[in-house]
Amino acid sequence: MSPLTPTDSNVLTVSHLNVYAGDHHILRDINLEIPSNRITVLLGPSGCGKTTLLKCMNKLTDLYKELKVSGNIYIGNDDILNTTHNIPAIRQKMGLLSQRPYPLPVSIYKNVAYGLKIKGIRDRKLIDFSVEKHLREVGLWDEVKNRLNAPATSLSIGQQQRLCLARGLAVKPAIILADEPTSALDPISSKIIEHLFREMKRHYTIVLVTHVLRQAIRLADHVIFMCDGRIVEQGSPSDLFSHPQSDELRAYLIDGN
Amino acid sequence: MRRIKIIEEKIFVFLSAFMTYSLILVLMFIIGVVFVKGFNALNPDMILKTPRGGYYYGGEGGVLNAIAGSLYIAVGATLIAIFIGLPAALYINVQLIRHRKTQNTIRYFLDALWGIPSIVYGAFGFTLMLFFGMNASLLAGIITVALLISPIMVRTFDEVLSTIPRGLYEASLALGSTRTETAFKVIFRQGFPGFITAVLLSFGRGIGDAASVLFTAGYTDNVPVNLDEPAATLPLAIFFQLGSPIPEVRERAFASAVILTLIILLLSFSARFMAKKYSRTNLR
Ligand SMILES: Nc1ncnc2c1ncn2[C@@H]1O[C@H](COP(=O)(O)OP(=O)(O)OP(=O)(O)O)[C@@H](O)[C@H]1O
Ligand SMILES: [Mg+2]
């Protein structure tokens, strides 16, 4: 496969990405494009490297000294993988939503304000405005407006996950990286998150890892199927789900249903 | 069959409740006895005055020298132990994160250090002191007590840090904060209640220990003003006064014990209070 080059409709391009942990080849020559304002779903059996791929995208792999990462990841024309310049700004372009919510050990309000304060914004009115706006965006405002100073941990897990989403949105990312964001949630909270993702497509690009096949079918605009560190198939959901080409994907679809 | 199980259960519940409440009772009893025995000698002079001439024969004065000495030594040692403990705990948890074996070996050694009787630290401090040609002094006492409580500090800091989930760290970085911002605004904040507990636990151990300061801090009737002067301590003040044949002096020993106990109780209450206050916002 020839190296991919960045284009306008793709916000993020991964090219020849390889990740090793010692002898273990975790990601093998990954080439992919993330279309903008779409939901790209990453599918694959456990341990195939989905989380690692997401962590490469916002450079959290830097934290793991044992991982050797090579290749390129482009946002626009910038290779974000091979730079050490202004890493916080790169990470701010991507909101991370993890498997379980990790609210910061401060109040609900301060959780959302955190990213703004980090950016150096001090204007109280602006922060107030932004906190309300993003809490509304995730549908949490009415539930928490009377207790903004309560600890974030006093919220239910589903609310905490939405708070984490609002907190991420407040730093104005272009891409949302969501790693099984509903796996710790009850069905109703999961539905809310799914609904939010569908709404958010207008303004953001979403990369979603999920093990719930039905969720993938409901949400995906673009599907990438991985197995054992490799991309086995990628394309439109109708192609992949109705006409799987590989034995791996066929097996995965059967097991998942 | 069922019947027996129920009876068994009842016996166990009774036994564990009995043990729990008797422990509390014993604690109350100890405090009560000390209070009653020391009550007559408890007066403002005890905490406001140093021993005057003839104090140890029932003359005027108090144990301000020992209160001050104990506080100086405990505060000094705690500060040193924090400076040793925080970096060490960070090293174990951050740098060694992929080296389980090394981590556990270090923890094992620290736990062993924790278990060494304080008289051994006292003897070691004494040897060290002679080696450097120092006299029994505030400084020697501080260093010895710091050695005594450092393993406690490192291990409790370590426990706190190891319970902070990695995901929290990553969440903070993903929001665009630097490592330093993450360390101070998130990790420190999350660990704060635990850190306070660690510090006060170590402080309590340090201020109450007699054996480690026996040879190293010496004893004096004055409040020390320099690091190279000897310093009295409350545990030793209790020890000396309790050995007196004069009843009034023995009473003062108990009054001193009351003072020491109050200091420690005050500490553990404030520790609980602060930990509670700051853990409200914490991830569990
Ligand atoms: N820091 C690391 N050191 C060593 N091996 C690692 C590291 N991180 C991930 N791996 C290995 O890489 C492989 C892929 O892990 P990853 O977490 O990316 O899988 P995943 O697809 O997200 O799985 P799951 O669906 O269970 O979350 C696994 O075999 C894992 O053991
Ligand atoms: Mg994963």
A2-30: pLDDT as tens digits: 344 444 578 899 999 999 998 999 999 99
From the list A100, A105, A115, which residue is nearest B190 (CB)?
A: A105
**Best of A51, A102, A153 to mutate (most B CBs within 10 Å, chain B):** A102
**Nearest chain B CA: its distance from A248 CA (Å):** 31
Asked whether the beta carbons of residue B171 and residue A164 sit closer than 8 angstroms, the reply is yes
User: Which residues touch B253 (CB under 8 Å, ≥6 apart)?
Assistant: B38, B237, B238, B239, B240, B241, B242, B244
Report the C-alpha gap between A170 and B123 in whole angstroms.
59
Average pLDDT over chain A reads 90
Nearest residue (CA) to ligand 1, atom 26:
A46
**Nearest chain A CA: its distance from B93 CA (Å):** 13
- Greatest alpha-carbon span in chain A: 57
Report the C-alpha gap between B237 and B219 in whole angstroms.
9
Mean pLDDT over B114-133 rounds to 93
Q: Which residue of B has its CA nearest to A59?
A: B174
pLDDT reported for residue B57: 85
Atom of ligand 1 nearest to the CA of A49: 18
pLDDT band at A1 (very low <50, low <70, confident <90, very high): very low
Helix/strand/coil for A8: coil
Classify the phi-psi angles of A128: left when phi > 0, otherwise alpha if psi is within -120 to 50, otherwise beta. alpha
pLDDT reported for residue B145: 96
Sheet strand arrangement including A10-21 = A24-35, A10-21, A67-75, A78-79
Ligand 1 pocket residue status of A50, Cβ below 6 Å: yes
**Nearest chain A CA: its distance from B89 CA (Å):** 18
Length of chain B in terms of residues written:
284
Report the C-alpha gap between B187 and B175 in whole angstroms.
14
pLDDT in tens, A224-256: 999 999 999 999 999 999 999 999 999 998 886
Average pLDDT over chain B reads 91
Cα B46 from chain centroid (whole Å): 23
Ligand that comes closest to the CA of residue A26: 1
Name the pTM for this structure. 0.81
Classify the phi-psi angles of B133: left when phi > 0, otherwise alpha if psi is within -120 to 50, otherwise beta. left
Q: Which residues of A touch B99 (CB under 8 A)?
A: none
Residue B218 has pLDDT above 70, yes or no: yes
More confident residue, A134 or B97: A134
Percent of chain B with pLDDT over 90: 63
Chain A interface, Cβ < 8 Å to B: 58, 60, 63, 65-66, 88-89, 91-92, 94-96, 98-100, 102-107, 114-115, 118-119, 151-153, 164, 167-168, 171
Q: Which residue of B has its CA nearest to A54?
A: B174
Helix/strand/coil for A10: strand
pLDDT in tens, A174-222: 999 999 999 988 898 899 899 999 999 999 999 999 999 999 999 999 9
Ligand 1 pocket residue status of A134, Cβ below 6 Å: no
Residue B278 has pLDDT above 90, yes or no: no
Measured in Å, residue A46 CA sits from the centre of ligand 2 at 7
pLDDT reported for residue A142: 93
